[in-house]
Structure 1
Amino acid sequence: MAVPGKKATKQFSSSTTSMGSDEDLKLYCQPCDRDGPRLPAHGYCTNCSEHLCETCFTVHRRHTLSRHHALLDKTNMPQTLSTVTPRQPDNFTKPCPKHNIEMIKFYCHDHKALLCSVCVTLEHTVTSCNVNYIPDISGQTINGTEYQDVLKDLNDMTERSSKILQDMKKMNELSIKSLTEALTDILKFRAKINQRLDEMERQVKKAAKVIQEDNVKDLKTVETACRDVFKSVKSSSDVIKNLNTSKQANDLFMELKHAQQMIKEYEHSVSKLSEFEVKEYNFEPNEVISNLLAKEKSLGTLKGRILSPALRSRQCSQMDKIGIKTSQDRLDCWITGMTLLTPDLLIITDYNNKAIKIVDISRKSVQAQHNFDSEPYDVTTVSQNEVAVTLPFHQTIQFFSVSRNNLRKKHTLQVDGKCYGISCHKDKMVVSYLNPAKIQILLINGTVLQTIQDENIFKNPNYITTSDNCIFVSDYSLKTVTKLNWQCEVTGKYVCTASPRGLTMSDDGTVFVCIDNNTIEEISGDCSEGQIVVKDIKYPQAVYWSAETCTLYTSNRALKESNFIKLFKLSK
């Protein structure tokens, strides 16, 4: 086969005869040059990047696979072979998945499909699809852009697969660890149940013993009284009988009168003795416990949450807003803290109006309000009907009993600094302080368990949110959200684009945080990444997540808007 552009002999039957130098500049038909006589070029196909003789040029216009190619005539065709891209050899080895005996030779750009001749004839005709013969277009793939892009995508896919595998291993380790801890919790829970049942059993036995002792005491009282009656009556009876036998009328008369008087007195005593009540007892099991044991099939459930190495994309839409300014308020509200006591009751602290308020979500109104003599800052749920409020300028934490429309002050806990953020989890509270900046873990009774006071970790710790395993703290000055364990060890840190304020933890371990760039971000549980979930919310201050309704409750500091709580619905 001759190579395009190479010198050829004048006599085609002989390959040894050299051509003149003027023929070196002639262009020949490249298809014919491969396996036939060398013929002068009459035109050029831009799709095939080949020069064509007059016959090939005419056939090229008529053939099904090339009739739509762009052809240049002799005057417009390239005058040098330097622009020609070498064709790839026609060595097809991949069979068509639809027609097994046919080899793949064509490519449909419209359907991005590799085709055999039968596919082209039956389903991807040139009139309906943009089909190319693979050797005509494959030359540009060598070290081309597509080659680089596909190679990069394959490398990316390898890295992603590797990361997924590593994440899966880590999550599996966490899952196994959590199950071990869950089994320990089951044993603790069972021990608590046993302890409580033992206590209840002791109470019932103690009550039975008291009844038994009372019965014995009453019986002894009756026995003593009856013995006295028996003795007196028998003595009187014997005397009367003897006097009557001896016919001593005077003494008998007087003894009978005395006996009659004694009988009257004993009738009253005996009548009182008959008033003693003696009961027969039987044990009636506690219906609630009996029904619970009858209905419940398990000591508890293993409740899991999805461990996700990456944040999931969320859709956000504003649902509603609730006015929270009342007739008692002299200033516009500034809601600095909030907590959801039940799905319908939101408890908020109003810094400007020195108040704590109960907001009924279903009624969209404030149901109760208590005013302080200084500004409250944050609030946390302690139990199903109790909350705790920080009062920084009094350096105290005030506890409240809460019903649907009533706030009742309970005890006050004095702390050793200006307390701002607070979050309660089970029997512990985590509190943030300023001047000096520190974090404390306390028992509900005020006993300090741990203290962190380190300027490298906190300069202006603000809000706190907690879970079984971790504590998150927003720092206004450092622009960070720091993750701690319950031993006060730093296990993660997220650097925000602006100063963070209120934050709340979601049910799957991520954290929603108010940012001073008018957004609310969601941060992954390991603090490795974040994403904006709410945009264009001016000066967001406090936030609380309801897992039950997938709702974010938010407050802000913008004028007029500060008198409302906004509700945002987020997709799972």
Structure 2
Amino acid sequence: MAVSGKKASKQFSSSTTSMASDEDLQIYCQPCDEEGTRLPAHGYCTECREHLCKNCYTAHKVSRLSKHHTLQDATNMPKVLQQPSTSIHTGQSDVLTTPCLKHPQEMIKFYCNDHTKLLCSVCVTLEHQATSCKVDYIPDISGDILDSKQYQDILKTLNHTSDQFQQMVENVKNMTNKSNISLKDALAAIKKFRQEINKRLDVLERQAEDAAKVIEQENNKHLKAVETTCEDITKLLKISSDNIKQLNTSKQANKLFMELKLAEKTIQNVEGKTQHLFSYDIKEHNFRSNDVILNFLKTEKSLGTLTQKAFNTEYQSVQVKSRQTSHAAHAGKICVKTSKAECRCWIIGMTLLTPDLLIITDYLNKAVKMVDTSSQSVSDQLQLKFKPWDITTVTSTELAVTLPHIQIIQFISISSNKLIKKHTVRVARDCYGISYYQGKLIVSLRSPAKLQILDMNGTILTTIDGKNIFKDTCYITCNRHSIYVSDSGMKTVTRLNWQGDVIGRYSGMSDFRGMSMSDDGTVFVCDQDRNVIKEISGDCSTGKVVLQDLKSPHAVCWCGKTKKLYYTCSAGDAKYDHFIHIYKLS
């Protein structure tokens, strides 16, 4: 007889196979046997086709996944072990033995369809109740998975994704090599430019040296002429002086008289000849530098600019099973500055009413504007007393706008292509981001950061405390399953369920701003610091850049019908901020 707790092989005995020993004839609990412990059977489940020990039999009657199963007691249960059903798999290597990451002592046996997560029994009990989630027992749904279309598709996707990553490595390697080569070329160009500067300076220096040599030669030439003339005159004067002295000694008065008169003439002649020699202007020379060149070298910070140009090849993050956007083509822009504008446009909120009608908030000009995308013009403008932040579509003719500085949500209706102010709803604090879904408004509050879910009368239905979740909530978008919040303080997009539980988070960016949800539940979000717009998967696990090299993108809006992405800028420059920029994605 088998002893309780004895380890045994996990190989099942067929009902058609004869038993070779008393132990083999013992009917034991099959779930416990899978875990490595053999216990006597106390009953049998006809749906699971398994014998159960006393503990498993009791648990089977109360577990929400099996309490409706048909159970047989020890008297009525089959007297031989049953072969597991095909849904439980046929080989011992396929036993569910993968431990749960949250509860390592429990094995993964269930799958939540709503959250697309693998679960253990503890996860099911604590986090995925039947009232909110559709949970299946894996052996019940895995029978047809072998060689199935899902198997083929996922295998194909895995291979494709692996190829993408390998290609990404090659792309990065090639572009890195090109970048390094271009840097070497740039440094060589800097050296060549420096040599050209040196050559020019050498020319200027030689010109100065040549000018100095000319002056030096003139000086020396004049000096030589003076020396020669003065030597000749000195000799002549000495001869005259010697003659006068001799005639005076010899008392030859007549000759002395004539010699003196000749000497007077000589002196006069000498003075006339030497006067021009001393009229030559000899000067002292100093160097005064060219201040233009000197100041240029002092003020300039570099020899030139090391410019950069992005490679055409895109090698962003690979996203599996997301909406494919292989190409983004610029489709124009719409000027939204009107004659009523007193300041630079700052479009920070945007919602799509119809494929041809965008409604935007112009914060600095305190205005809500209606933009006709067909005529590419502002068709109406509603002036407000206070600055609007975000906007959401409530119905085909009604909108809701946040006015954070007066803690109010302003409702606006559309009639005869005109924007008309309707009623208001007061909120507890400054409200910024806003989104609407099935009669509920979700608003983001600051200081401290939190979310509130309101009904259309402003009654608070749910408050989601942002402690340890948010820092600076900016914008919100939502669907049936999830609420997405962009947080410029945490630098994340956080995904929550409608009960306020965090069920996903994406942090692959630096400064999150406006968001818009696409048809398949993925989210477009602006990264103002990196000047890109990213598309993030619905579960916030992956993201990829769809537009790059932008100018401080702030608000974004997606039109699924036309496949157009609209965005606005906060660059502080009218040539960007006064426009809605349009791209066609395919």
The two structures have a TM-score, normalised by structure 1, of: 0.46
The two structures have a TM-score, normalised by structure 2, of: 0.45
